[in-house]
Chain A
């Protein structure tokens, strides 16, 4: 029996309207419809969600962990991007 590999899908669940879909895990399924069905059975047995996304895992492009410094450290020194960097006299009130 030459059994092919069943594709992997990443599962995202929206817990309630107003919230973003959040990654919860993955499932194996032959096609998108079956992936949705499997995601429903595996990840929403207790009212965890109102909406599901399944995305083929190989469609996700991820940043390389070794690039983390190059990509994300520069913002550490840019404190002027935060509101607390600026001084506003207390008399002005909340801003």
Chain B
């Protein structure tokens, strides 16, 4: 679903070597870097971190929506939600594979998530309290994800870019199914519309935080831009998202929970109020409403699946011995 610009500090490379110069020249010429090519260690580290955080986000992102599968209001909605959650799992797997081409193992990545060392998108630490939250996640969370991910299809690292192309193709269904849920609720009874409004109120600001800290605070953006891992700054993407989303919300007849939101005629952009970055940091540091639940759910699933993984490997080893 989504890669968050977490901007973890990294002692970025002022790598000055002929190899590094050649590498930068290739990037500047829009050449793609493939796994076996020479690359600066910091480029490798940055990508492993970003791609694995992205993969973890997809996997953890299955939890808030999975919460509603058994309570979907119709078979049609249920089938769509199941397919969507399955897609998120698939996206996680494409991305883990891409990260592994950089020399990190799947077991290591899983361990980073389960031990709480790895980060994932802060948005999944919020609860899904009503069916309208499923609509809002599809419309806003996946909408924000698409904004972020489309430029990643041109990322300088080939396997990541290729995975993102697949992800983006599938993500558009997610956003449309979410918007359709919102539209149905907004055209329904007053109670249903109130439910949609309540969900928007709760999700709007956390969605704006998905794009990461403001450009003035992101020490890391420059290197990522120079390496063409990132093509737009956090603030630029956030603005694009707000501009695209506000008219969609107006069409639904909903009100955004931001009294300062207004169209700036001169620039054509929607101006919005101040984001509560303390909340963002709190959630990222592990103190959001659902951080513990999410991690516990992943740990439990992993632990309870251990016997299946062990049995599959034992069976494979036995078959091999028989064949030998």
Which residues from chain A sit less than 8 Å from chain B, CB to CB?
1, 3-6, 8, 25-31, 34, 41-42, 45-46, 62, 64-66
Contacts and interface: CB of A to CB of B under 8 A. Distances in A.
Interface stretch (B32-40, B179-187, B249-257, B275-283): B32-40
A85 B83 CA distance: 54
Given A5-B105, A6-B309, A64-B36, A31 B90 contact: no
A25 B166 CA distance: 11
A65 B37 contact: yes
Please classify the interface of chain A as helix (H, G, I), strand (E, B), loop, or mixed, using the class held by over half of its residues: loop
Which of B93, B98, B315, B319: most chain A Cβ within 10 A? B93
Contacts of B316: 30-31, 34
Contacts of B34: 65
Contact of B312 (A25, A31, A62, A64): A31
Contacts of B170: 45-46
A15 to B, nearest CB: 13
Which of A5, A31, A34: most chain B Cβ within 10 A? A31
B71 interface: no
Nearest to A30: B312
Contacts, number: 57
B273 to A, nearest CB: 40
Interface of B: 34, 36-38, 83, 86-87, 90, 93-94, 97-98, 100, 105-107, 162-163, 170, 306, 309-310, 312-313, 315-316, 319
Given A6-B312, A29-B312, A31-B319, 9 more contacts: A3-B306, A3-B309, A25-B163, A26-B100, A27-B97, A62-B36, A64-B36, A65-B38, A66-B38
Contacts of B312: 6, 29-31, 34
A45 B87 contact: yes
Given A64-B36, A65-B34, A3 B310 contact: yes
A41 B97 contact: no
7 contacts: A3-B306, A5-B105, A25-B98, A27-B93, A30-B312, A30-B313, A42-B93
